[in-house]
DNA sequence: ACTTAAATTGGAACGGCGTTCCAGAGATGT
DNA sequence: ACATCTCTGGAACGCCGTTCCAATTTAAGT
């Protein structure tokens, strides 16, 4: 068979796992979730698929690594000795994730799908740890650590992902206010018999400030912590 | 050009959007998220792609429809006049979603990605309405409806999705307890300096009952409702 | 009953994706 | 100089969602 022709010269700057992950993040940021393909990656890195597969097992691992890198960076900001209260520190962690998801909208989907597959891998402990430390600092009894941290984590990721979507462009010239207004009016056209609640909240949606609403949710959960906790386990008020 | 040869006879039972969605759900249930392909669908329905595309715009719409159908069915159970307290009714809604996600594990991913794209379409108001009605019945002041319902929704969907993953097979002969045990031991091998909290909660994870833990999270949020609400809006303590 | 138009079907083909394969170029040691 | 190992990137494979369109069934008009 004919010998393969080698045309281009070898890369000058060596390929590395870090460079690949970095390029993947940039590609996801600029071209969206569907923008990360091995072909786009090979073009951007001026190489071939085999070179990438030498450093990375497959696309899932690459996505995991990109997610982990961005989340780690988001949680690493504000490390130094800010003598804030645990509440403020928790809000800072939450807003850090909020901003990271806002800046990299693909994170929302990626975190969700990563939770739904190999959920307890690298990124989950990272987030749980950051939240959990503040939960512990708040004086929550250890028995309830898991419940409280889990509630906070799910709310933070869910709400941040939701709000990140609101702020994105949904077509040419559609900004956040227009988008939320469109949703609001769409909800007000729902059947009054089937959707009384949704119609009622449709009014208060367009006006609110995202971060404030987000923090209000966290405050609500924290208020639940200080309230009388239900007895240990399987011991709720009965008889 | 040569005339196409027509070999098989036309379907006896007519194809319809409902039949396609039904087949899609079955395919997702049996073969997993990756199991739904147009080729598998054409084989199962004994037809061709064009026939399916006549009834359904594309795969995303099909996934949306499948998700909506399953969620609607889950929320439609327990309609009749059970004179439960709003708390019990809310728990019932939450457990309905919990069970639906447990029975159709692809729902977790699908709901998450659907939230991250056209988030305010059909399925979101459906869930928000079911939760919101109970929030209203609980006597929550209208100003806080959106916050409370949103917190509950994000927690319910996040935690239910997470727990659904735990219960699934992750390889041959790996059941829930083994899986959680493996996660627990993996967490206990994390760096004690970097992950003190995660290591601490690793112990209490394998033992707990899923539903009880799930409901404990909801109870925590509900406890926050009755606690003193933070001042109206844009009025938090500053300066 | 015959004709005609519209609704519906399903086979073939297209472009793009993740992935695999492997010849060979650079580096390194002998 | 050679042998060996690391790393590269072009070509090709199989599967995917989707499109195209001839063929067929159904419905309507006469």
Domain membership flag for residue A19: no
Give dist(CA B160, CA B180) in Å, integer.
16
Domain membership flag for residue B72: no
Neighbours of B201 (CB within 10 A): 23
Of A132, A197, A213, the CB nearest to B197: A132
Tell if the CB–CB gap between B147 and A198 is shorter than 8 Å.
no
- Find how far residue B62's CA is from the centre of its chain: 17
Domain count, chain A: 1
Tell if the CB–CB gap between A115 and B225 is shorter than 8 Å.
no
| pLDDT value for A9 | 43
**Do residues B147 and A220 make contact, with C-beta atoms less than 8 angstroms apart?**
yes
Residue B199 pLDDT greater than 80, yes or no? yes
Q: pLDDT tens, B114-156?
A: 888 776 788 999 999 999 999 999 999 999 999 999 999 999 9
* Cα–Cα distances in angstroms (integers) from residue A116 to residues A199, A235, B47, B102, B209, in the given order: 31, 31, 32, 12, 19
B68's CB contacts (< 8 A; 6+ apart) are: B122, B123, B126
Residue B235 pLDDT greater than 80, yes or no? no
Chain A interface mutation, best of B28, B32, B118, B125, highest count of A Cβ atoms under 10 Å: B125
**Do residues A41 and A27 make contact, with C-beta atoms less than 8 angstroms apart?**
yes
- Residues of chain A neighbouring B201 (CB-CB closer than 8 A): 128, 132, 145-146, 149
| pLDDT value for A12 | 52
DSSP B143-189: GGHHHHHHHHHHHHHHHHHHHHHHHS--STT--HHHHHHHHHHHHHT
Q: Give the nucleotide at minimum CA-to-C1' distance from B36.
A: D16
Higher pLDDT, B97 or A4: B97
| pLDDT value for A72 | 97
Tell if the CB–CB gap between A221 and B151 is shorter than 8 Å.
yes
- Residues of chain B neighbouring A196 (CB-CB closer than 8 A): 129, 133
B165 touches strand C (CB under 7 A): no
- Expressed as residue numbers, the domain containing A162 is 81-226
Least confident of A9-18, A188-197, A214-223: A9-18
B115 and A CB contact within 8 Å: yes
Residue B211 pLDDT greater than 90, yes or no? yes
- Residues of chain B neighbouring A154 (CB-CB closer than 8 A): 154-155, 157-159, 162, 217
Rounded mean pLDDT, A2-23:
66
| pLDDT value for A178 | 87
* CATH number of the domain where residue B99 is located: 1.10.357.10
Of residues B208, B162, B206, B156, the one with CA closest to residue B186: B206
Q: pLDDT tens, A35-58?
A: 999 999 999 999 999 999 999 999
Nearest residue on chain A to B201, alpha-carbon basis: A146
Domain membership flag for residue A131: yes
Rounded mean pLDDT, A18-26:
97
B183 and A CB contact within 8 Å: yes
| Long-range contact set of residues B117-125: C-beta below 8 Å, sequence gap at least 24 | B117/A109, B117/A165, B118/B64, B119/A162, B119/A165, B120/A183, B120/A186, B120/A187, B121/B64, B122/B64, B122/B68, B123/B64, B123/B67, B123/B68, B123/B71, B125/A187, B125/A190, B125/A195, B125/A198
| pLDDT value for A140 | 95
* Mean pLDDT across chain B: 87
CA-to-C1' distance for B2 and D22, Å? 10
- Residues of chain A neighbouring B113 (CB-CB closer than 8 A): 109, 112-113
Domain membership flag for residue A73: no
Tell if the CB–CB gap between B146 and A119 is shorter than 8 Å.
no
Nearest residue on chain B to A232, alpha-carbon basis: B216
Domain membership flag for residue A46: no
Higher pLDDT, B239 or B234: B234
Q: pLDDT tens, A73-114?
A: 999 986 666 667 999 999 999 999 999 999 999 999 999 888
Q: Give the nucleotide at minimum CA-to-C1' distance from B42.
A: C10
Tell if the CB–CB gap between A154 and B158 is shorter than 8 Å.
yes
- Residues of chain A neighbouring B144 (CB-CB closer than 8 A): 220
B54 touches strand C (CB under 7 A): yes
Give dist(CA A150, CA A131) in Å, integer.
9
Tell if the CB–CB gap between A112 and B109 is shorter than 8 Å.
yes
Least confident of A32-46, A58-72, A117-131, B53-67: A117-131
B58 and A CB contact within 8 Å: no
Q: pLDDT tens, B41-93?
A: 999 999 999 999 999 999 999 999 999 999 999 999 866 666 679 999 999 99
Domain membership flag for residue B61: no
Domain membership flag for residue B154: yes
Higher pLDDT, A202 or A233: A202
Domain membership flag for residue A109: yes
Residue B100 pLDDT greater than 90, yes or no? yes
């Amino acid at each position: 068979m004919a010998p393969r022709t080698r045309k281009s010269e070898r890369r000058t700057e060596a390929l590395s796992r870090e460079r690949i992950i970095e390029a993947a993040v940039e590609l996801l940021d600029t071209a969206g979730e569907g923008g990360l393909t091995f072909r786009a990656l090979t073009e951007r890195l001026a190489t071939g698929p085999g070179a990438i597969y030498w450093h990375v097992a497959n696309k899932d691992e690459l996505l995991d690594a990109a997610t982990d890198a961005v989340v780690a960076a988001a949680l690493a900001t504000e490390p130094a000795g800010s003598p804030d209260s645990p509440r403020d520190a928790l809000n800072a962690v939450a807003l850090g994730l909020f901003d990271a998801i806002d800046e990299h909208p693909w994170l929302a989907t990626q975190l969700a799908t990563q939770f739904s597959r190999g959920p307890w891998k690298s990124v989950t402990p990272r987030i749980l740890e950051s939240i959990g430390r503040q939960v512990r600092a708040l004086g929550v009894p250890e028995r309830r650590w898991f419940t409280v941290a889990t509630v906070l984590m799910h709310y933070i990721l869910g709400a941040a992902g939701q709000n990140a979507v609101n702020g994105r462009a949904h077509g040419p010239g559609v900004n956040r206010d227009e988008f939320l207004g469109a949703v609001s009016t769409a909800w007000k056209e729902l059947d009054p018999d089937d959707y009384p609640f949704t119609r009622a909240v449709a009014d208060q949606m367009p006006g609110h400030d995202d971060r404030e609403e987000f923090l209000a949710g966290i405050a609500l959960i924290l208020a639940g912590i200080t309230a009388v906790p239900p007895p240990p386990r399987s011991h709720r008020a009965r008889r």
